[in-house]
Amino acid sequence: MPDDQKPLSPKITRNVRTRLVHDGIRRSQYGEVSEAMFLTQGFVYDTAEQAEARFVELGDDEFIYARYGNPTVRMFEERIASLEGAEDAFATASGMAAVNGALCSMLRAGDHVVSARALFGSCLYILEEVLTRYGVEVTFVDGTDLDQWRAAVRPGTKAVFLEAISNPTLEIIDIKAVSEIAHAQGAMVLVDNVFATPILQRSLELGADALIYSATKHIDGQGRVLGGVILGTKEFIRKTVEPYMKHTGGSMSPFNAWVLLKGLETMDLRVRAQAATALHLASSLAGHEKLSRVVFPGLSDHPQHDLAARQMERGGTVLAIELKGGQDAAFKFLNALEIFTISNNLGDAKSIVTHPATTTHQRLPADQKVSLGITPGLIRVSCGLEDADDLLSDIFAALEVI
Ligand SMILES: *Cc1c(COP(=O)(O)O)cnc(C)c1O
């Protein structure tokens, strides 16, 4: 058994930061300190009999082909599963491979799914365009309205899908309440937990049955690679997700797994620093004369602040601000910023500003933009790791330009 996995004395605690550094390590015969990157597609067998045996049943430390599994990928899966307290995890090529894999592996024609409407564009595409094409019926609800969930989830509903915090308007869904509604009808709850982050919200403990992450965001946290992961029971991951993923080709590359494994080591430190910066920016900007709104779940004027306080440890790493002068003011502001980067990622070490109405949410029909609160003056702010007061001075200076 690898050193880092041997059982520890019960007197020694093993909290999140420790687990993010040590768990899942599979040390090779060379005894390397940093996790090895196994850039290999295949694995050799000592004998034909051994090859045959592996195809019958795979042992814990046995691999066949990188699309099925790889030691570096397995280290990443075990480390994040340990963090989440999940029985198992399957790593995917991107966040969208994870969303697609989780849903398509468990659904078939005739099934019914209920989903929150406020979704990341590509998630909406899978639910609205892909699943329906194969005969799955999808009902969309306003995720913050529990009555709509109660009305939509019916006996035989197979799954419920939601993003814990919506993008970019940061509405919060009550995972515990939605899970109770879903479980009462036998439906499985799948949560895309990207905006809540693996550090600030324990969605499995709140009632979710499976979690999905784009590892591209806070898990990498330094804007380098794409990745995703699905977490859940061993039964769901190995019997439902794995057969679908390994045969359809959405597995994570060992190189990306290595980058993300190292990302996990620093994630708790990074996310907490980013969350502290987000709160600092949001509270310093609230009430600014050039802004009509500052949206941040950690501020007491957020419509679901109490739920946020119950469900999350902090308000998150992203805030949204709305400029009074509409798109013209928003563009002037974006172009005047010197430290913030104009881009569309989030969770990065670099602070990033996004104008959702003209980029990430450009293709939404105008009436849907209005109903989701994606106004021409709205800007999403993802807080990075720079000095928080430097970021604030950058924002104040750019607001003066308008
Ligand atoms: C980015 C994102 C995804 C997709 O992840 P990729 O790694 O880009 O494929 C899915 N859901 C949410 C909420 C996201 O922010």
DSSP state string for 325-390: THHHHHHHHHHH-SSSEE-S--S-SS-EEE-GGGTTTTTS-HHHHHHHT--TTEEEEE--SS-HHH
The proportion of the chain whose per-residue pLDDT surpasses 90, expressed as a percent, equals: 92
Instruction: Please give the distance, rounded to the nearest whole angstrom, from the Cα atom of residue 57 to the centre of ligand 1.
Output: 33
**Is the predicted pLDDT of residue 2 greater than 50, yes or no?**
no
Output the CA 5–ligand 1 centroid distance in Å.
Answer: 31
Report whether pLDDT(52) > 50: yes
| pLDDT of the residue at 10 | 84
The dihedral through the CA atoms of 24, 267, 173, 168 has a sign that is negative
Q: Give the distance (Å) from ligand 1 centre to CA of residue 59.
A: 32
Instruction: Decide if pLDDT at 5 tops 70.
Output: no
Average pLDDT over the chain, rounded to an integer: 96
pLDDT for 392 beyond 70 = yes
How far is ligand 1, taken at its centre, from the CA of residue 120, in Å? Answer: 7
| CA 195 – ligand 1 centroid, Å | 9
Judged against a pLDDT cut of 80, whether residue 64 lies above it is answered with: yes
pTM for the whole structure? 0.96
Residue 364 reports pLDDT greater than 90: no
Range(s) of the chain covered by CATH 3.40.640.10? 3-263
Give the distance (Å) from ligand 1 centre to CA of residue 121.
9
Residue 4 has pLDDT above 60, yes or no: no
Ligand 1 pocket test target in 161, 191, 217 with most atoms within 8 Å of CB? 217
Question: Which of 194, 203, 354, 361 should be mutated for ligand 1, with most atoms under 8 A from CB?
Answer: 194
Domain 268-401, CATH 3.90.1150.10 — does that match? Answer: yes
Mean local confidence (pLDDT), 25-40: 96
Name the one residue in this structure whose structure tokens are 């709160």.
Answer: 279
- Nearest residue to 258 via CA among 96, 379, 56, 77: 77
Residue predicted with more confidence, 121 or 342? 342
Q: 364 alpha carbon to ligand 1 midpoint, in Å?
A: 17
- Which residue has its alpha carbon closest to ligand 1 atom 15? 194
Distance of CA 68 to the CA centre of its chain: 23
Cβ contact 244:101 at 8 Å: yes
Does 371 have pLDDT greater than 90?
A: no
Residue 1 — very low, low, confident or very high, per pLDDT cuts 50/70/90? very low
Q: Which atom of ligand 1 is nearest to the CA of 195?
A: 13
Choose which residue among 124, 213, 214 to substitute to test ligand 1 binding: the one with the highest number of ligand atoms within 8 A of its C-beta.
214
Q: Ligand 1: which residue has its CA nearest to atom 4?
A: 95
Residue type, 100: N
Report whether pLDDT(238) > 60.
Answer: yes
The predicted model gives 331-341 an average pLDDT of: 98
For atom 6 of ligand 1, the residue with the nearest CA is: 95
Mutational test site, ligand 1, from 117, 119, 120, 201, max ligand atoms within 8 Å of CB: 120
Using most ligand atoms within 8 A of CB, pick from 94, 96, 119 the residue to mutate for ligand 1: 96
Among residues 359, 280, 369, the alpha carbon closest in space to that of 317 is found at 280
Q: Which residues touch 306 (CB under 8 Å, ≥6 apart)?
A: none
Q: Please identify, by atom number, the ligand 1 atom nearest to the C-alpha of residue 345.
A: 1
Tell how far the Cα of 361 is from the centroid of ligand 1, in angstroms.
13
pLDDT(387) > 80 = yes
- Could you give the 3-state DSSP secondary structure of residue 89? strand
Average pLDDT over residues 308-317: 96
Architecture of domain 3-263: 3-Layer(aba) Sandwich (3.40)
Structure confidence at residue 271 (pLDDT): 98
**CA 295 to ligand 1 centroid distance, Å:** 21
**Cα–Cα distance measured from residue 336 to residue 284, given in angstroms and rounded to the nearest whole number:** 19
Q: How confident is the model at residue 370 (pLDDT cuts 50, 70, 90)?
A: confident
> So what's the pLDDT on residue 6?
65
Residues in the chain: 402
pLDDT category at 231 given cuts 50, 70, 90 is very high
Residue among 105, 40, 38, 101 at smallest CA distance from 72: 38
Query: Residue 314: is its pLDDT beyond 50?
Result: yes
Measured by CA distance, the residue closest to atom 8 of ligand 1 is 95
Looking at residues 35-43, what average pLDDT do you find?
Answer: 97
**Ranges in the chain annotated CATH 3.90.1150.10:** 268-401
Rg (CA), the chain: 22
| Ligand 1 pocket, residues with Cβ under 6 angstroms | 94-96, 99, 120, 122-123, 163, 167, 192, 194-195, 214, 216-217, 226, 228
pLDDT > 70: what percent of the chain? 98
* Helix residue ranges per DSSP H, 57-189: 71-84, 95-106, 121-125, 131-133, 146-152, 175-184
Nearest-CA residue for ligand 1 atom 7 is 95
What's the CA-to-centroid distance between 25 and ligand 1, angstroms?
Answer: 27
Output the CA 214–ligand 1 centroid distance in Å. Answer: 5
Task: Write out pLDDT tens, residues 143-197.
Answer: 999 999 999 999 999 999 999 999 999 999 999 999 999 999 999 999 999 999 9
- Quick one: pLDDT at residue 8? 72
- Decide if pLDDT at 391 tops 90: yes
Q: If you measure from the C-alpha of residue 263 to the centroid of ligand 1, how many angstroms do you get, rounded to a whole number?
A: 17
Backbone phi, psi, residue 3, to 5°: -45, -45
